Amino acid sequence: MTDDANRQLRLAIYALLIAVSVGTIIGRIGQMRADHGKHPFMSANDRSRWTTIRSLVDHGTFAIDDVIADRRWDSIDKVYHVGADGKRHYYSSKPPLLAVLLAGEYWVVKSVMGLSLGSYPFYVARIMLVITNVGLLLVMFASLVSLVERYGRSDWGKIFVIASAAFATFLTTFAITLNNHLIAAVAAMLAIDFALRIWIDGRRESWLFFGAGLMAAFAAANDLPAFSLFGILGLALLIQSPSKTLLAGVPGALIIAAASFGTTYWAHGSWKPPYAHRSDGPAIAQLDAQAAGDAASELNDAKVPTAVRSAFAEQGITLSETPELQVRAADDRWVLDDPVVDRRWALQKVDDGIEIRSWDRWYDYADTYWREGVKKGVDLGEQSRLTYAFHMLLGHHGVFSLTPIWILSVIGGVMLLRSEDRHWRDVAILVATLTIVCILFYTFRPLKDRNYGGVCSGFRWLFWLIPLWLVMLQPAADWCAQRRWMRWTATILLAISAASAAYPALNPWSHPWIYRYLQYLGWL
C-alpha cells in the first residue's frame, strides 16, 4: 500500500473514532436528567456559570439574585458583595470571562430561536453544550490529528493516540457539562501545536507566535495553574525568536489579559478575582485602648456600643437602630451587619484597641457553605500532604490509577529526554516541568484547598495538561507498535482508562469508581 493510501486509511480511522466519541457525547448531552429532571445542570460548579450567563442576557447584570430566587438555580459557588448600584448582591464566584463569551452565544440562541434559559433550560443548555463543548473538542481533535501526522512514526501509534484522546481521558467525560477545564485544555492543545511548529518544524510566521501567545494566555485565564504554561512557553519562544515573540506573541497574550481583567472589573468593580477577596479590607477607624476596653464587653453581649457608633459617624456613616452583630470569639473579632445601610464591617481586636475594617470577605455571608464548620465530606481537605499526593497520582483520584495510559506518556517523555534531537528533549523537559510544578502546587496548598477538586470524577485541576501528555504519548505508542506484547499491554491500559472515563458518563460531577469502591469497603 502506498504512503498516500496509508494516510487516507489512517484519516478514515481517525474520523471513525472521533465520530463515535462525539456521537456518544451528544447522546449523553441529550440524556441529561440532573436533579430529577428539574434542570439540566449537574453541580454547583456548572450551575454557578449558567446563572451568570442567564442573568447577563435576561436581566442585564452580573448579579444573580433574580436567578437564584428560584432555588433550583442556586449554587454554593457564589460570593456576596456591594455592586455598582451601591447595594449588596450575589455573584458567581467563577471568573467572568467565560460567562461573558457564552452569554453572547446564549443571546444569539435566544434571539434566533426564541428560547430562554428560564423557560426552556434543557433545550438551551443542550444546544449550547453541543456548540461549545463538542465544537471545541473537534478543534482539539483536528489539532491532535495534525500533530500525530507530523511527528508520529507508525500507523498503529498514531491511531492509538487518537483513540486515547477520543475515549480514554476525562476531557470527553466533562464535555457534557459546562466547565473551564475542557476549554483550558483545548487552548493548551492549540498553544502547544503552534509552539511545536515553531520549535520543531523551524517555522517563523508571525501568526504562529500570535496564536501561541493568545492560546497560552487563554488557557491561563480559564485555569489558573495553566499560567505556568504561559510563562514557560513564553520564555521558550522568546529564546527561539525574541522579535517575533515580542511583536506577535505578546500582543496575543495582552488581548486575553485585557479581556480577563476587564470582565472581572466589569462584573465585580475590582481588578482582583473573587477568590482573592477572603480577608478584611483596610481599617477605616480605630478605638483606643480605653474605649476598646469598655466596648468589648458590650460587643460580646451582641450590643453596638456608643463608641462604635461615634467612630462610624466620624466616617460619615450613620448606623441604624438595629444592626446585627455576630461574635467571632475564636478570632477576637465581631461582624457588624446593618441591613438598613446595606453594609457589613469587621471589628478586630488589635493589641489593646479595636480596628473597624471595611468588609472584603466575599465568601462569608449568611448561608455560606465555605465557612469552617459548615463544609463537609471531601471539601474538608486532606490532612496529610503525603496522602493527598498519593491519592492525586495513584489513589482514588489518581492520574495513573484511573487513567493508566499516562504511564506510557511518562515512558514517552523519558524516550524524548534520551533522544538525540535537542528540540524534542526541550519539549519533554517543558511538559515534565509543568506537570511536576502543578503536582507540587496542589500538594502544598492549605488544608482547605486539598480537596481533590470536590465531588468530581477525576483530579480535574490537572485536566488542562492532558493535551501535553498526549504529545508525550506518541513516541511511547510508536515504540509499542514494534512489539506485539506491548501493543496488547497498551491496549489494556487504554481500556482501563476508557472505563474510568465512561463510569461517570451521565454526570462527571461524581466520585471516581475507585473512591466509591473504597467507600464500599469502609476505608473512607
pLDDT digits over 331-376, tens only? 888 999 999 999 999 999 988 889 999 999 999 998 888 877 777 7
The strand pairing partners of 283, in sequence order, are 357
CA angle 37, 42, 43 (to 5 degrees): 135
| pLDDT of 249 | 96
What nine digits make up the cell of 8?
Answer: 487516507
Query: Residue 31 burial (CB < 10 Å; 0-12/13-18/19+)?
Result: exposed
> Cell numbers 452583630 label which residue?
325
The strand pairing partners of 285, in sequence order, are 356
One-character DSSP codes across 358-371: E--BTT-STT-SSS
Q: How far is CA 64 from CA 79, 99, 367, in A?
A: 10, 12, 15
Which of 376, 338, 383 is closest to 359 using CA atoms?
A: 338
- Amino acid letter for position 237: L
Say how many residues make up the chain.
Answer: 524
Residue 288's nearest CA partner among 331, 371, 349, 360 is 349
In the block, residue with C-alpha cell 473512591: 515
**DSSP one-letter code for 85:** T
Q: What is the DSSP string of 47-64?
A: HHHHHHHHIIIIISSS--
Buried/exposed code over 57-91 (b: 16+ C-beta within 10 A; e: otherwise)? bbeebbbbbbbbeeeebbbbbbbbbbbeeeebbbb
Report pLDDT for 524: 80
Low-confidence residues in the chain, pLDDT < 70 = 1, 33-39
Secondary structure class of 131 (helix, strand, coil):
helix
- The pLDDT value recorded for residue 33 is 63
Q: Which helix (H) or strand (E) holds 225?
A: none
Q: Could you tell me the residue ranges of all domains in the chain?
A: 283-358
Q: What is the 3-state secondary structure (H, E, C) of 62-73?
A: CCCHHHHCCHHH
Helix or strand or coil: residue 324?
strand
C-alpha cell at 256: 486575553
The Cα 152–Cα 471 span in angstroms is 10
Task: Tell me the three cell numbers of residue 113.
Answer: 430561536
How far is 63 from 80, CA to CA, in rounded Å? 9
Q: Which pLDDT score is estimated for 442?
A: 95
**Cα–Cα distance between 461 and 481 in angstroms, integer?**
31
pLDDT at 375 (0 to 100): 74
**Dist CA 40 CA 117 (whole Å):** 10
Q: How far apart are CA 498 and CA 164, in angstroms?
A: 8
* Region for 456 from its dihedrals, namely left if φ exceeds 0, alpha if ψ lies in -120 to 50, beta otherwise: beta
